[in-house]
A = this chain, B = another copy of it.
Amino acid sequence: MTKIRIGIVGYGNLGRGVELAVAANADQELVAVFSRRDPASVNIITQGVPVCRLDDVENWKGKIDVMILCGGSATDLPAQTPALASMFNVVDSFDTHANIPAHFASVDAAARPAGTVGIISVGWDPGMFSLNRLYAECILPHGKDYTFWGRGVSQGHSDAIRRVKGVKDARQYTVPVEAAMDAVRSGSNPELSTREKHLRECWVVAEDGADLAAIEREIKTMPNYFADYDTTVNFISQEELDRDHKGIPHGGFVIRTGKTGLNGETGHIIEYSLKLGSNPEFTSSVLAAYARAAFRLAQNGHSGAKTVFDIAPALLSPREGADLRAHLL
C-alpha cells in the first residue's frame, strides 16, 4: 500500500496532535514538519522525519500529498492556507465563523488554478457540529437547533484572564447550563439568552499581594468575554492549577428538536454530543480523516475549496465502499 504523504505546517498543540493522529492511521505517513521557528529548536516525536523551514516549503512540491495546516485562525491561516493551496492539497481548521466565506473564497481562488483541493474549517466546531446542524435541519425542516459548548477549556477566555493586572496564570471553563439543555430537549423551542446557555468558571492564580477583589471584579465585568455571563472566580495556587487543570478538555452538544405530522403533532429530538479529553488532539484526528478525503478528491480530478459539507462520508474512511456497506451500514 502506498501511504498518503502528509506534511504538517505549524507545530504547537494542534500540530503535535496531527502528528499523533497520522501515526494512528495506517494509510498515512508523516513526511515533514514545517515551522517558522528555527528547525533546530523544534523537537518532534516521530523519528527520522525532518523539521523544515516554512520558507523552503516550495521544494516539497510533488513530495507531499496533503499539507495539514495547524496555525491560528487570526493571522496564520488567512495567509497560509491560500499560499499553500497554490502548491499542495491542504486541510485547515479555520474557526473564525464570521470570516469563513472570505477564507473559502481566497482558498478557492488559489486552489482552482493550481488543481489542488483545500478543505477548510475542519474540526468539531466548525466541523462535526456543523455537520450535525446540517443533517438535522435537512431531516427536520420544521424545528430549531441549539449548540452548547463545554464543559471545556476556552483558550481565548483563559488568555483574557491572564491579561488582567495581578493575574499570574488562569484557566477558564465554559459550562453549559443543564436547565437550558433540558428546556431545549423538551421541544419548547425556548429563546435563550447568552447568560441562560452557559456559565463561565474561572480558576485564577494571583500574584503575591494582588488585590483579589479587583481581579474578580475586572474579570466579571469584562465586555464580550464575561460581562454577559454568570461567572465564578476561584483563586488557587499555581500548584493546584498545574495539578488539577492541566488538561485541555472540551466538548458540547448540538440538539435539534422538530415536528412532523399532519399538524406538527409528532416531536423528535436529534442530539449529538462530544466529550473530549483533549480539544487539540480531537481536532487533529478530524483533520487527519479529512486529509484522506482531500487526497482522494484530488486524485479524482477535483479542485478548489471545500468544507465538511461537500465531502461524502465514505471519502473519510480507509475502508472500501463494499466493506463499509457490509459492516457499518
Binding site for B on A (CB under 8 A): 17, 20-21, 24-25, 45, 97, 100-101, 104, 121, 126, 128, 130-135, 137-142, 260-262, 266-278, 281-282, 284-286, 289, 292, 307-314, 316-317, 321-322, 324-326, 328-329
* Inter-subunit contact B260/A281 (CB<8 Å): yes
* Inter-subunit contact B24/A142 (CB<8 Å): yes
The one of B130, B282, B311 in contact with A139, judged by C-beta atoms closer than 8 angstroms, is B282
Q: Quick one: given A260-B285, A277-B268, are A324 and B309 in contact (CB under 8 Å)?
A: yes
Q: Quick one: given A316-B135, A325-B101, are A271 and B269 in contact (CB under 8 Å)?
A: no
Give the number of copies in the complex.
2
A277: which B residues are within 8 A, CB to CB? 260-261, 266-268
Mostly, the A contact residues are helix
Q: Quick one: given A17-B260, A139-B289, A261-B20, are A312 and B314 in contact (CB under 8 Å)?
A: no
* Inter-subunit contact B126/A131 (CB<8 Å): no
- Complex Cα spacing A142 to B312, Å: 22
- Complex Cα spacing A41 to B49, Å: 72
A21: which B residues are within 8 A, CB to CB? 260
- Complex Cα spacing A309 to B327, Å: 12
Besides A131-B135, A309-B324, 7 other A-B contacts (C-beta < 8 A): A128-B135, A134-B313, A138-B289, A138-B317, A260-B278, A271-B272, A309-B312
- Complex Cα spacing A322 to B260, Å: 28
* Inter-subunit contact A274/B269 (CB<8 Å): yes
- Complex Cα spacing A20 to B134, Å: 21
